[in-house]
Amino acid sequence: MKAKLAMRGRWVVLLFFAATLLNGATGLYAAEVKEPSVTPPDRGKTKQAEASAGMPLYVPPLRGAPGGRFGGGTRGLDTKPITVQVLVPDHVGWTSQTQPVLYWFISGETALPVEFTITQTGQPKPLAVKRFAGPVKPGVHPVPLSELGLSLGVNARYEWFVVVKNEAGKKNKAAFSGAIMECVEPPAGLREKLAKAGKPRAAHVYAEAGLWYDALAAVSEEIASRPNDAELRKKRAALLDQVGLKEVAEFELKAAESAR
């Protein structure tokens, strides 16, 4: 009973925080938090196929709690629908980095204000806020915590949000997406495995260790240095598809086709 009450209380805090973000200066928005998504029964077959094709295979941590991703979806912004999505699994994702790079996606260009916020679980005051200069282009965007001067505490959990706010006076809802992540100690032998694998397979090592944020960052950093490498785009698409982010995965596969 105590565990259920604690979980219920936690969701109330998250709902309150999301609503606070969306209210902004106008006080006209309301948060819509999705229920944790359910892993499709055929996801295992998809992962096996991707592993056999040489793609990174993400193995979720055994103690990863459900409900690590919420919000998202499409809103009518700038007179056209735009999807905003943080690139995380549908459970609490792990990082072994105290200054990880977080990634989010927007499906279309917008000139509206886009804001990133991060807090530590149980602490209402944001640790950092970043506003993206518009217009924001469609695609995957990074948020390096090192650029914000923020370091995470090990064995601590954090909530982070990306919000596209409407112009003052507009009554239609803002688009937002958020996630819970945990900073953990690196697993035993991780450094040796990374040294043996080399940079091209770092994402594979991180993914197999259950370190979602590190795996995504490893392949994304390679894409940043070689944006026209179709195989790298396919690797990122494979990771995203494994955690149910199909729209973003399709966007990456189209980018891979264009890069050929």
Per-residue model confidence (pLDDT) at position 173: 63
Q: Contact at 8 Å (CB) between 75 and 174? A: yes
H or E element, residue 208: helix 202-208
Per-residue model confidence (pLDDT) at position 67: 72
Per-residue model confidence (pLDDT) at position 257: 86
CATH number for 2-259 (one of 1.10.3720.10, 1.10.10.10, 2.60.40.1930, 1.10.3210.10): it is 2.60.40.1930
Percentage above 70 pLDDT, the chain = 71
What are the DSSP calls for 128-194, one per residue?
EEEEEPSSBPSEEEEEEGGGGT--PPTTEEEEEEEEEPPPTT--SPPEEEEEEEEE-PPPTTHHHHH
Q: Contact at 8 Å (CB) between 100 and 214? A: yes
Total Cβ atoms within 10 A of residue 169: 7
Is the confidence at residue 225, as pLDDT, over 90? yes
Predicted confidence band of residue 6 (pLDDT cuts 50, 70, 90):
very low
pTM: 0.80
More confident residue, 71 or 66: 71
Predicted confidence band of residue 79 (pLDDT cuts 50, 70, 90):
low
Query: Any idea where the domains of the chain sit in the sequence?
Result: 2-259
Per-residue model confidence (pLDDT) at position 105: 97
Of 27-31, 153-157, 163-167, which one has max mean pLDDT? 153-157
Is the confidence at residue 243, as pLDDT, over 90? yes
Q: Contact at 8 Å (CB) between 84 and 76? A: no
Is the confidence at residue 21, as pLDDT, over 50? no
| Mean pLDDT value of segment 20-46 | 40
**Average pLDDT score over the chain:** 81
Radius of gyration of the chain (CA): 18
More confident residue, 5 or 50: 50
Q: Which two tokens stand for residue 147?
A: 């650029």
**By mean pLDDT, which of 17-31, 43-57, 114-128, 207-221 is the weakest?**
17-31
Is the confidence at residue 35, as pLDDT, over 60? no
Q: Contact at 8 Å (CB) between 258 and 63? A: no
Q: From CA 221, how far away is CA 113, in angstroms rounded? A: 26
More confident residue, 70 or 108: 108
